[in-house]
Structures are given as structure tokens and as C-alpha cells.
Amino acid sequence: MQVTIDGPAGVGKTSVGRKIANRFSLAFIQSGKLYRALAYAKIHDLDPDSLKLNPGDATEPELIICGRTLGKDLDSEAIGEEASKLAKEGETRERVNSKIAQIAGEKDVLVEGRDIGTKVLPNADLKIYLDASIRERARRRKNQRETELSVKEIEARLRKRDERDQKRKLAPLKPAEDAVIIDTTSMSEEDVVERLSHLTENIT
């Protein structure tokens, strides 16, 4: 089974996606983490070819680069911005997509990102596109991560990132034609999880 969740930064793809993946025993893949790992490699001058997505038995595959397991190091806004710049390059996108396709060929997956329903898994069983106002997304980011930045500053960064992700030539952020589009601006996380659970139940 393949479920995809796409949408802009800060909309809640990760928190909601993780809950749905756990509930339905799907491997949970955050494609943004792969772009972030490649940004980390660039910043630390590490070989991008050494990137490994190790499925193991856990629901969330491990990300390893040059023997280092990456975790919280990938969460900063600076890494996110660098990732979004790198994500414009075809070579980077192919590197990421082939790793996702490999796991999706072996396991039932929930993959979240920007182009999963449109490009990476176009035949997925269920495609979701989550949206929310930029102010609300900035608020969610502020609550989610330890950051000195104000909501306004986060909002400015998200706006820049959205623009770059939506306007790039390759695999821009947009809903797939057959995606279920959900505006989550005034929904609680629980509401979104329930809605997605209902949709997922109906394909199993």
C-alpha cells in the first residue's frame, strides 16, 4: 500500500503522517529529510553518494551519511533553506527519488513531501494534499521546534521557501490531480488525523 502526503512547509505533514503510519503499520518516509541530509553533506563537505536510507525493522528508516546517523542535526531552518536550494537540481532529486522508490517497492509506505503524489509515487493508493494559511503554519512551527525566531520571522522564511518550492521548474509543489486536498487552517491535529484515518481505512 502506498499513501502520499504532500504540502507546504510547516503544515503538519510529519506529525500527522507519523500517526497515520503508526496506526496502519506503514513505513514512514519523510522525503524532506533526504533533501536535508544532502544539504548537511554539502555544508559539511561529505560525499552525497554515501547517503543510505536504512529501512531496518523500525517504522522510520535511518538516514546515514558517511557512517553518521543523522537525527536532530537536520531540523534547523538553515538546513531547510539549503535543502530547498539543492532540491532544484535534477541530480539531487533523482538521488532522493531512487531511494524512496526502492523502499516503496519493498514495503507498505506512507511518504510525505512536495512531489510524492505528482512525481515519485504517481500510482499511490491514496494521495493527500495538506494546506494551511502561512500565519497558521508559522505558529505551528514555533510551537513544534525550539527556536529563537518570532512567528513573524518564521513566516517570512516559510514564504521564501514556499515560493522557491512552488516556482521551481522540476517537480514544483502542487497537488496531484487525484489528490484529496484538505485545508487544515482551522482544524486541530486530531481532526486531521481522524480525517486521514478515515480515508486510509477506505482503501484497505
Site of interaction with ligand C5P (CB under 6 A): 9, 31-32, 35-36, 80, 83-84, 87, 113-116, 161, 165
Smaller CB distance to ligand C5P: residue 111 or 182? 111
CB of 33 to ligand C5P, least distance (A): 6
CA distance 77 to 82: 9
Apex 18 CA angle, 154 and 172, nearest 5: 55
Smaller CB distance to ligand C5P: residue 2 or 31? 31
Tally Cβ neighbours within 10 Å of residue 175: 17
Smaller CB distance to ligand C5P: residue 166 or 201? 166
CB of 178 to ligand C5P, least distance (A): 17
CB of 99 to ligand C5P, least distance (A): 12
CB of 6 to ligand C5P, least distance (A): 7
Smaller CB distance to ligand C5P: residue 120 or 182? 120
CB of 198 to ligand C5P, least distance (A): 24
In three-state secondary structure terms, 29 is strand
Q: Which residues neighbour 99 within 8 Å (Cβ) at sequence distance 6 or greater?
A: 34, 51, 53
Q: Which amino acid is at 121?
A: L
Smaller CB distance to ligand C5P: residue 155 or 165? 165
CB of 97 to ligand C5P, least distance (A): 8
Exposure of 163 in the CB half-sphere (CA atoms within 13 A): 6
CA distances from 151 to 119, 133, 146, 199 (A): 32, 13, 12, 32
State which H helix or E strand residue 18 sits in. helix 13-23
Q: Is 122 exposed, middle or buried (0-12, 13-18, 19+ CB in 10 A)?
A: middle
Smaller CB distance to ligand C5P: residue 140 or 161? 161
